[in-house]
Amino acid sequence: MSPYDPSAFLPFAVTVDLVVLTVRGQGLCALAVRRGEPPFQGRWALPGGFVRGDEDLAQAAARELAEETGLCVQDTGGAEAAHTAHLEQLATYGDPGRDPRMRVVSVAHLALAPDLPAPRAGGDAHSARWAPVEDLLGRDGVAGPGGEPPVPLAFDHARILADGVERARSKIEYSSLATAFCPPEFTVGELRRVYEAVWGVALDPRNFHRKVTGTPGFLVPTGGTTTRQGGRPAQLFRAGGATVLNPPMLRPEI
Amino acid sequence: MSPYDPSAFLPFAVTVDLVVLTVRGQGLCALAVRRGEPPFQGRWALPGGFVRGDEDLAQAAARELAEETGLCVQDTGGAEAAHTAHLEQLATYGDPGRDPRMRVVSVAHLALAPDLPAPRAGGDAHSARWAPVEDLLGRDGVAGPGGEPPVPLAFDHARILADGVERARSKIEYSSLATAFCPPEFTVGELRRVYEAVWGVALDPRNFHRKVTGTPGFLVPTGGTTTRQGGRPAQLFRAGGATVLNPPMLRPEI
DNA sequence: GCAAAAGTGTTAAGGCTACACCCATGT
DNA sequence: ACATGGGTGTAGCCTTAACACTTTTGC
Q: Is the pLDDT of residue A126 over 80?
A: no
Do the domain assignments include residue B233?
yes
What's the gap in Å between the CA of A109 and the closest CA on chain B?
A: 11
Model pLDDT for residues A211-224, shown as the tens digit of each residue:
999 999 999 999 99
Do the domain assignments include residue A1?
no
| Residue B42 CB coordination number (10 Å) | 14
A96 and chain B: CB distance < 8 Å anywhere? yes
Q: Residue B202 and residue A167: Cα distance in Å, rounded?
A: 31
Of A9-23, B40-54, B112-126, the one with minimum mean pLDDT is: B112-126
Q: Reduced to 3 states, what is the DSSP secondary structure of residue B206?
A: helix
- Domain hosting residue B107, numbered range: 6-168
Give contacts of A51 with chain B, Cβ < 8 Å: 10, 12, 94, 105
Model pLDDT for residues A60-104, shown as the tens digit of each residue:
999 999 998 888 887 655 555 567 899 999 999 999 999 999 999
How do beta strands B219-226 and B72-73 pair? unpaired
- Residues B189 and B155 reside in one and the same domain: no
Which domain-ending residue is among A169, A185, A218? A169
Q: Residue A29 and residue A197: Cα distance in Å, rounded?
A: 10
Do the domain assignments include residue B249?
no
Give contacts of B105 with chain A, Cβ < 8 Å: 12, 14, 51, 57, 105, 107
Q: What share of chain A is helix, strand, coil (3-state, %, to 5)?
A: 25, 30, 45
- Residues A117 and A227 reside in one and the same domain: no
CATH number at residue A221: 1.10.10.10
- Residues B210 and B124 reside in one and the same domain: no
Which domain-ending residue is among B120, B137, B168? B168
CA atom of A194 to C1′ atom of C20, Å:
27
- Number of domains observed in the structure of chain B: 2
- Residues B55 and B148 reside in one and the same domain: yes
Q: How confident is the model at residue B149 (pLDDT cuts 50, 70, 90)?
A: low
**Alpha carbon A156 to its chain's center:** 17
Q: Which of B25-39, B135-149, B215-229 tops mean pLDDT? A: B215-229
How do beta strands B104-112 and B84-93 pair? antiparallel
CB–CB contacts below 8 A, A to B: 119
Residues whose beta carbon sits under 7 Å from strand C? A 204, 206-207, 210-211, 227, 230-233, 247, 250, 252; B 187-190, 205-207, 209-210, 213, 225, 229-235
H/E segment holding residue B219: strand B219-226
CA atom of B211 to C1′ atom of D16, Å:
10
Do the domain assignments include residue B246?
no
- Residues A126 and A11 reside in one and the same domain: yes
Do the domain assignments include residue A19?
yes
- Residues B38 and B157 reside in one and the same domain: yes
The residue of B15, B92, B175 whose CB has the most chain A CBs within 10 angstroms, and thus the best one to mutate to test that interface, is B92
Q: What is the pLDDT of residue B2?
A: 43
B38 and chain A: CB distance < 8 Å anywhere? no
Give contacts of A243 with chain B, Cβ < 8 Å: none
- Residues B92 and B16 reside in one and the same domain: yes
Of A66-70, A75-79, B220-224, B242-246, the one with minimum mean pLDDT is: A75-79
Do the domain assignments include residue A109?
yes
- Residues B51 and B96 reside in one and the same domain: yes
Nearest to A11 by CA among B16, B51, B253: B51
Contact A180, A112 (CB under 8 A): yes
- Residues B154 and B217 reside in one and the same domain: no
Asked whether residue B34's C-beta has any atom of DNA/RNA strand D within 7 A, the reply is: no
- Residues A72 and A104 reside in one and the same domain: yes
- Residues B182 and B129 reside in one and the same domain: no
Q: Residue B115 and residue B128: Cα distance in Å, rounded?
A: 15
Do the domain assignments include residue B154?
yes
Instruction: Show Cβ contacts of residue A226 under 8 Å, excluding neighbours closer than 6 positions.
Output: A185, A187, A233, A234, A236
Return the HEC string of A84-118: EEEEEEEEEECCCCCCCCCCEEEEEEEEECCCCCC
How do beta strands B27-34 and B13-24 pair? antiparallel
How do beta strands A104-112 and A13-24 pair? parallel
CATH number at residue B145: 3.90.79.10
- Residues B157 and B189 reside in one and the same domain: no
B4 and chain A: CB distance < 8 Å anywhere? yes
Q: Residue A53 and residue B12: Cα distance in Å, rounded?
A: 9
Which domain-ending residue is among A114, A145, A169? A169
Question: B188-199 and B205-214 are packed helices; what angle lies between their axes, rounded to 10 degrees?
Answer: 110
Do the domain assignments include residue A254?
no
B212-245 in b/e form (b: 16+ CB < 10 A) is: beebeebbeeeeeeeeeeeeeebbbbebeebeeb
What's the gap in Å between the CA of B173 and the closest CA on chain A?
A: 12
Nucleotides of C under 7 A from a protein CB: 3-9, 15-21, 23-26
E strands, A37-103, are 44-45, 48-50, 72-73, 84-93
Contact A253, A246 (CB under 8 A): no
What's the gap in Å between the CA of B101 and the closest CA on chain A?
A: 8
